[in-house]
Amino acid sequence: MAEKCLTVCSASESMIAKAEQEGVSTAFSRSQEIKPCPFGVSGTCCRNCAMGPCRLTFKGEVTEEEQELGSKRGVCGATVGTISARNFARMIAAGASAHSDHGREVAQTFLAAAKKEIPGYDIKDEVKLRTIAGVLDISTDNKDKYQIAREVGEVLIKEFGKQEGELAFVKRAPEKRQRIWAEHGITPRGIDREVVETMHRTSIGVDQDYRNILLHGSRNALADGWGGSMIATELQDIMFGTPIPLRSKVNLGVLKEDEVNIIVHGHEPLLSEMIVVASRDPELLDLAKKVGAKGINLAGICCTANEILMRQGVPIAGNFLQQELAILTGAVEAMVVDVQCVMQSLPSVAKCYHTEIITTAEKARMSGTSHFEFHPHHALEVSKDIVRRAIKNFPKRKSVNIPKEEMDLVAGFSHETVNYMLGGSFRSSYRPLNDNIINGRIRGVAGVVGCNNPKVPHDKIHTEVVKELIANDVLVLQTGCSAIACAKEGLLIPEAALKYAGPGLREVCETVGIPPVLHCGSCVDNSRLLIAATEMVKEGGLGNDISDLPVVGCAPEWMSEKAIAIGQYFVASGVYVVFGVTFPVTGSKGVSDFLFEEHDKITGGKWAFEPDPHKMAALMLDRINKARKALGIDKPQERVLYDMEMRRELKF
C-alpha cells in the first residue's frame, strides 16, 4: 500500500521523519492513530444535557421528512436537524468569541494608548484614525490624535456590551446588504449579546427550528466579521501602522544556526510587537553575543506571525502544523505563545530538546511551561525578560538540524494598499480593479484562507486550489495559515505571475508589480476582505451588492471553529464559500440543504463542501462565471490598459 502523503512541504517532511526516528509524537502521527467519531464528523451527536449524549444514525438514503418527522430523535425529542444546527451555531459562537475577545483586548489596549497610559504603544496611523472616526460620526475638528483615539476607543469598546440597535460598522456594508440583513432580522446588535443568545437558543428546549437557529448563527457570525474582527484589525492598524507591501522570508529555513531563535506563536500582536522591539535592543544583543550567539532571530508561527510579518517584516517559520516541527529543529530557544491554535503537545515536544515554552496570557495557560504574564502596562519589560530567558537557553542546545528551505514573499496588502497599488498614488481607487474585471482580464477575486488539518496532506489543498485559480485569471487574496502555505510554494512573489497566472491576470500583475496572490494578514484580517468587496461594489459597474460580485471564498484545509464563524459571515454577507476536509452538518439532510442551497435565496451567499482541490476550484470558477453572466460581462471586451492620462479622466 502506498504510504500516505502527510505534507507537500519538504522542510516539514524532513522534520516529520526526524520525529519518527526520535519517537516524538506530533499532530501528524496522532492524526493517523485517532479514528474520528463518525457522529461528530457529521454533526449528529448532542451532549447538551445529561439525558444524553444522544447520537442519531440513519441508514441508507433518507429524506428530510423521514429525518425530521420520524421517531428517531434524542431523548428530549430533538431531531437531527435541530442537533446539527445547534452544533453548527455553537461552532460559530466559539469562533466569533475567539476573534471578538481578541478585538476586546486590542480595544482596551488602544484606549489605554490613547490616554498615554502605556509607554511603548502609540497612535501611528492618524489617517486611518480619522477615517474610522468618520465612520463612527466622531468629529475630528480641533482635536489632536489622542483625543480622537480616546473617543474612537470608547465607542468601539461599547460595541461588545451593546444591547440594542446595530453594530457601528454595519453601515460600512453596501446599502442593499444592510437591507437584506434587516429584512431577515440578522443585523447584529451587540457582539457579546449575539454569542450569549446563541448559547441560550441552543441549550435544551429552546430554539428547535433549525432554520431559525442557523439564521441567528448568521447574526452571530456577522457580529464577528463586521464587529469583533473588524475592530481588532482597524485598531491594530491605527496603533501599530497599516501594513504596506514588504518583502520577507518564510519556512523553517528562516531559523538561524548561530543566533538565538525566538518564535512567537498565537494570534494577538500586542505582546509580539514589543518582543520585536526587545529583540533589537543593543543591550540584549550584547548579552546574546556573550553566550556565543551572533544575534537574536525572531520568527513567527500562525497568525501572530502574519501580524508581525505584515507590519515589521519578521520572517515566518511556518503555519499551524509546523509549530511542533519548529521545535524538532533543536534550534529554538523559546516559543512564546499567546492565545489560539497553540497545541497542548508543545511542552512534551519541547522536553526532548532545550526549547522553553513560554505562555503569556492569563486566559491561556498550559502545564509544563513557564509563564511570563503580559500586561500592556509593562509590556516592554516582560518582553525583555522573555528575550533574556531565551538567550540564557542558547548554551543548552544539543544537536541542531534546520531544514534549508526558505522562500521569499511579499506581504502587507491591506485594503488601503490594494486601493493605492491598483489605483496608483495619483488617485487611489478600486476603479482599475473593477475595470479589469469588467474587461475580463481578471475573471474574479477569491479569498483563500484558513488553517491546516492533518486529515489532508499539509499545504497540498491550499496550493493546488490557488494555482488553479490564478491560472484561470482569478486574483487571490489570502490570510491565515493558507497564506503561509502558498508563500512557501513561492506564490506570493511578483515572479509567480509569470510562472502560474493566466494571461490576463499576468498582464495586470506585471503592470502593477504585484504577485497574483496577495497576503492580506491574519485571521481577524478577513474583515479586510469584507471591506475590499464593499469597495468594489461602491466603485460601480459590478452590481449593487457583494452577492453580485464575481467574488468567492474557500478554506481548503480548515480545522478551527473560527473558520466556521468566518465562513458563515462571508455567506451571510453574500459570498459563495467552499470548505474542504469535512463539513460538520452532513448528517442532516435539512441543514445541509439549507446551508448548501436555500441560503442563497436568503443572503445571496451559500456554502459548498468539496475536499478535492481541483473540483473545489471548478466550483469556485463556475460561481464566478455565473456572476459574470448575470452582470453581462461574460463576453470578451476590448482590453484597455489605463495610463496616467486616462486615470486622471476617471470620474469619482
Residues contributing to the site for ligand MSK (CB under 6 A): 267, 302-303, 320, 341, 450-451, 480-481, 522-523, 560, 562
Binding mask 183-222 for ligand SF4 (x = CB under 6 A): ---------------------x------------------
**C-alpha span between 8 and 21 (Å, rounded):** 20
295 binds, among ligand MSK, ligand SF4, none (CB under 5 to 8 A by kind): none
Binding mask 273-292 for ligand SF4 (x = CB under 6 A): --------------------
Binding mask 62-91 for ligand SF4 (x = CB under 6 A): ------------xxx-x----x--------
The answer to whether 338 and 386 have CB atoms below 8 angstroms apart is no
46 binds, among ligand SF4, ligand MSK, none (CB under 5 to 8 A by kind): ligand SF4
Task: Please work out the total of residues on this chain that contact ligand SF4, with binding judged by CB under 6 A.
Answer: 14
Nearest approach, Cβ of residue 482 and ligand MSK (Å): 7
**C-alpha span between 348 and 325 (Å, rounded):** 12
Nearest approach, Cβ of residue 500 and ligand MSK (Å): 22
70 binds, among ligand SF4, ligand MSK, none (CB under 5 to 8 A by kind): none
Query: Exposed, middle or buried: residue 611 (CB in 10 Å: 0-12, 13-18, 19+)?
Result: middle
Number of Cβ within a 10 Å radius of residue 142: 6
Residues 40-59 interacting with ligand SF4 (rule: CB under 6 A): 46-49, 51-54
Q: Which CB sits closer to ligand MSK, 225 or 480? A: 480
Q: Which amino acid is at 456?
A: V
Q: What is the dihedral of CA 448, 453, 455, 461, to 10 degrees?
A: 30
**C-alpha span between 186 and 207 (Å, rounded):** 16
Q: Which CB sits closer to ligand SF4, 48 or 547? A: 48
The DSSP code for 2 is P
Residue 171 found at the interface with ligand SF4 (CB under 6 A): no
Nearest approach, Cβ of residue 597 and ligand MSK (Å): 27
> Is the torsion defined by CA of 18, 21, 22, 26 positive or negative?
positive
Name residue 358's beta-bridge partners. 336, 370
Name residue 357's beta-bridge partners. 335
Q: Which CB sits closer to ligand MSK, 173 or 483? A: 483
Nearest approach, Cβ of residue 609 and ligand SF4 (Å): 24
480 binds, among ligand SF4, ligand MSK, none (CB under 5 to 8 A by kind): ligand MSK
**C-alpha span between 462 and 378 (Å, rounded):** 39
Nearest approach, Cβ of residue 460 and ligand MSK (Å): 16
94 binds, among ligand SF4, ligand MSK, none (CB under 5 to 8 A by kind): none
76 binds, among ligand SF4, ligand MSK, none (CB under 5 to 8 A by kind): ligand SF4
481 binds, among ligand MSK, ligand SF4, none (CB under 5 to 8 A by kind): ligand MSK
- DSSP symbols for 14-64: HHHHHHHHHT---HHHHHHHPPPPHHHHHT-EE-SSTT--EE----SS--H
Q: What are the φ and ψ backbone dihedral angles of 35, each rounded to 5 degrees?
A: -100, 115
Nearest approach, Cβ of residue 199 and ligand SF4 (Å): 13
The answer to whether 360 and 369 have CB atoms below 8 angstroms apart is no
Q: Which CB sits closer to ligand MSK, 305 or 536? A: 305
How many angstroms separate the Cα of 552 from the Cα of each of 1, 288, 443, 460, 583?
A: 37, 48, 11, 20, 18
**C-alpha span between 56 and 565 (Å, rounded):** 25
Nearest approach, Cβ of residue 463 and ligand SF4 (Å): 40
**C-alpha span between 304 and 318 (Å, rounded):** 11
Nearest approach, Cβ of residue 67 and ligand SF4 (Å): 14
Nearest approach, Cβ of residue 203 and ligand SF4 (Å): 8
**C-alpha span between 592 and 557 (Å, rounded):** 20
Q: Strand 260-266 and strand 334-337: pairing? A: parallel
Among the listed residues 422, 429, 448, 430, the one whose alpha carbon sits nearest the alpha carbon of residue 517 = 448
618 binds, among ligand SF4, ligand MSK, none (CB under 5 to 8 A by kind): none
Instruction: Record the cell numbers describing residue 56, joined without a space.
Output: 442519531
Nearest approach, Cβ of residue 450 and ligand MSK (Å): 5
75 binds, among ligand MSK, ligand SF4, none (CB under 5 to 8 A by kind): ligand SF4
Residues of this chain that bind ligand SF4 (CB under 6 A): 46-49, 51-54, 74-76, 78, 83, 204
